Structure 1
Amino acid sequence: MAYKPTLMTTTLWDFPSQQYGDESQGSKDYRGATPAYILWNLLQRYTKPGELVVDVMAGSGTTLDVARDLKRRALGYDVNVTRPDIFNCDARSLPLEDEKAAFVFLDPPYSTHIHYSDDPRCIGKLSARSEDYYLSMEKVFDEVDRILRPGRHMALYVSDSFQKGKAFCAIGFELYQRLCAHFDTTDIVCVTRRNKTLDKGNFHRAAIEGNYFLRGFNYLFIMQKNKEREKKG
């Protein structure tokens, strides 16, 4: 029997699978795909049927599929187009008018861990240990702020980064600080990571022997565009 989504009531989210129901949401084979349950919960809470949902780094289209399943309108942009209903576009320069979106979702590359594209515009080519990564993400946040309607919500799904032999990289904290320059915080959720890497015993043995931790959760920063803040400055 297909598992049916339910609204989460705490700030610790854990889901049994990548997708829900009998239909696919995005591609289960896409590396770094967002769990569909996350989008289902966000859109149920912060949008209504008929409203426009935008994913500025749409990947395999999970957000688009969940939005349409819930009778929302959806737009997706990405520099690496995986399907016809995603527009080829840099998230730092979106072809959308001001204040059109009722909700914006963003699941960016977490540094250079995954090869997404050979496109030179791909932010996934920038190391999160460099200022260029954060400056690029600030430009993305500028665009999200511009297209989002006042009083409405956006969410950023992101993980920190640890690579053996390198310093820990607190991507979540760094991006959250920059988000706060644009938006008010609604809440911060921790989402349990479930992937094939974490299921492999040799990775856990290596973490114990090397005295480090595997990434066990992602941040989900839920933010609101303040109606008054946009008028300041």
Structure 2
Amino acid sequence: MKEVTQEDYLNFVKEHKRVVIEDVELEIGQHNKIKLLQPAEFKLETTSVWSFPKRGDWATHYLNARYRGNWAPQVARNLILRYSKEGDKVLDAFVGSGTTLIECKLTKRYGIGVDINEDAVMLTRDRLNFDTLGKFPEQRTFVGDARNLNLIEDGSIDFIATHPPYASIISYTRNSNSREEGDLSKISSIEEFTSEMKKVGKEFWRVLKPGGYCAILIGDTRRHKHQIPISFRVMESFLEVGFILKENIIKVQHNTKTAPLWERKSVDNNFLLLMHENLFVFRKPMRDEKTSIFGESMQRMRETN
């Protein structure tokens, strides 16, 4: 891991006015105009199905509308408000465009954002450039690999909220035709991807405080007209690490780029379009906690021990 400070960002934008993520160029270094600092309407979700047809556009979130790989601000805000409190340390190890850290800043949490892609980290720092009323907690950013969070101490994180890539579905680093070392979005093998995500799970377990929660949004894919349950394989790998499954939330997808293209093909070839992702919320048990009552929520781990 290597920390990227505000000074590093300012030096970067002297020479770079754009960054590239998912082969999309995004402007940075401009004065971020804010029309609305907080959401005009927000209600904490109370069911296991979340649907946000209109993405949040408060603060600097509106600037990231073209970046398809990030999650909706409503998702990050719901998770942060439900599973952490003011002053907590929140980690996003696949920080992308900084949605989680923007919400940490707005909700008075100390955010830590990590990404393998330097452009994503610079974009995050750019999107954090807006004024709030009064003081706000520091937001720290790092270029690094989620499988090796070496600058984060054991048991120092209160909550983890992240949206990792799914096995070559979307390429996050600058050149989509090359495999940058450490970029999980370039892995096409489902078995290899699941194995690498288990390494991520082990690092999350290490840095998370006992009793803390870890939320991961991940979807599935389809090959040869059959669904591949990437999300559930990742879920199983986290259970094997030792996490307890707290919730499985269905996140409905809206305005996907490929949906119109594939609608006709789905009928002609007899398969359904995948229009949801799975948002898993895990809990790390307390020290000396009797976990036997959660056996069914830890089934995979128990079977493999």
Give the TM-score taking structure 2 as reference length.
0.70
Query: What is the deviation of 1:17?
Result: 2.2
CA RMSD of aligned residues (A): 2.3
2:182 to 116, 121, 133: 121
Q: Which has the higher helix share?
A: 2
Correspondence 1:227 to 2:286:
yes
Moved more, 13-22 or 65-74: 13-22
Please name the residue that 2:164 is paired with.
108
Query: What is the deviation of 1:106?
Result: 2.4
Change (3 A) 1:22 1:136: closer
Measured against aligned partners, the alpha-carbon deviations of 1:148-178 in whole angstroms (never above 9, x if no partner) come to 0000101010001113x36421111111111
Please name the residue that 2:61 is paired with.
24
Give, as a single letter, the amino acid of the residue that structure 2 aligns with 1:162: R
Please name the residue that 1:157 is paired with.
217
Query: What is the deviation of 1:3?
Result: 4.6
Give, as a single letter, the amino acid of the residue that structure 2 aligns with 1:93: N
SS of equivalent to 2:228? coil
Please name the residue that 1:186 is paired with.
246
SS of equivalent to 1:40? helix
Query: What is the deviation of 1:180?
Result: 1.2
State whether residues 115 and 143 of structure 2, in contact with CA within 8 Å, keep that contact through their aligned partners in structure 1. Answer: yes
Q: Which has the larger radius of gyration?
A: 2
Please name the residue that 1:195 is paired with.
255
Please name the residue that 1:96 is paired with.
152
State whether residues 188 and 222 of structure 1, in contact with CA within 8 Å, keep that contact through their aligned partners in structure 2. Answer: yes
Query: What is the deviation of 1:195?
Result: 2.6
CA distance in 2, matches of 1:37, 1:25: 13
- Unaligned 5+ segments in structure 1 are none
Correspondence 1:33 to 2:33:
no
Moved more, 80-89 or 154-163: 80-89
Moved more, 17-26 or 165-174: 17-26
Measured against aligned partners, the alpha-carbon deviations of 1:86-115 in whole angstroms (never above 9, x if no partner) come to 311010000200111110112111111212
Query: What is the deviation of 1:32?
Result: 1.1
Give, as a single letter, the amino acid of the residue that structure 2 aligns with 1:91: A
CA distance in 1, matches of 2:117, 2:170: 13
**Matched positions, count:** 230
Give the TM-score taking structure 1 as reference length.
0.90
SS of equivalent to 1:214? coil
Query: What is the deviation of 1:67?
Result: 1.0
Q: Which runs of 4+ in 1 moved over 3 A?
A: 228-233
Please name the residue that 1:207 is paired with.
266
Please name the residue that 1:55 is paired with.
92
Moved more, 102-111 or 78-87: 78-87
Give, as a single letter, the amino acid of the residue that structure 2 aligns with 1:113: I
Change (3 A) 1:166 1:120: farther
CA distance in 2, matches of 1:30, 1:199: 17
CA distance in 2, matches of 1:119, 1:231: 42
SS of equivalent to 2:168? coil
CA distance in 2, matches of 1:26, 1:173: 32
Change (3 A) 1:26 1:46: farther
CA distance in 1, matches of 2:221, 2:56: 25
Change (3 A) 1:50 1:63: same
State whether residues 259 and 273 of structure 2, in contact with CA within 8 Å, keep that contact through their aligned partners in structure 1. Answer: no
Please name the residue that 2:236 is paired with.
177
Give, as a single letter, the amino acid of the residue that structure 2 aligns with 1:146: R
- Unaligned 5+ segments in structure 2 are 1-35, 126-139, 174-178, 292-304
Change (3 A) 1:25 1:137: farther
Give, as a single letter, the amino acid of the residue that structure 1 aligns with 2:274: R
